[in-house]
């Protein structure tokens, strides 16, 4: 599992914008913000102001995102887990 950092910009006591980064954000030289590379866009971002940084482990996202199964394999696996019942007769 790898770490994912969630950077939140706050405005008026409420979260205004969130970003994800694979690397821990670096403090800007002025000490008033952070810089990091956005996980989705791969663009560098610098934020100045009220900011919070949280670290999460991303293993659950990789499993749900199909890291271990493709969509075709998933359909086949579901049919083996949920076979057609034999005691139900179709009307149409």
| Confidence check: pLDDT of 19 > 50 | yes
Q: What are residue 46's DSSP bridge partners?
A: 35
Global pTM value? 0.61
Dump pLDDT digits (tens) for 27-77: 999 989 999 999 999 999 999 999 999 998 866 655 555 554 444 554 555
User: Per-residue DSSP letters for 39-91?
Assistant: TTT--EEEEESSEEEEEEE-HHHHHHTTSS--HHHHHHHHHHHSPPPSS----
């Amino acid at each position: 599992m790898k770490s994912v950092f969630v950077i939140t910009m706050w405005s008026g006591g409420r979260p205004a914008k969130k970003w994800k980064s694979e690397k821990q954000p670096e403090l800007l030289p002025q000490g008033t913000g952070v810089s990091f590379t956005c996980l989705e866009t791969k663009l560098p971002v610098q934020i100045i102001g009220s900011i919070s940084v949280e670290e999460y482990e991303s293993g659950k996202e990789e499993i749900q995102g199909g890291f271990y199964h493709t969509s075709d394999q998933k359909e086949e696996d579901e049919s083996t887990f949920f076979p057609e019942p034999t005691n139900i007769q179709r009307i149409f």
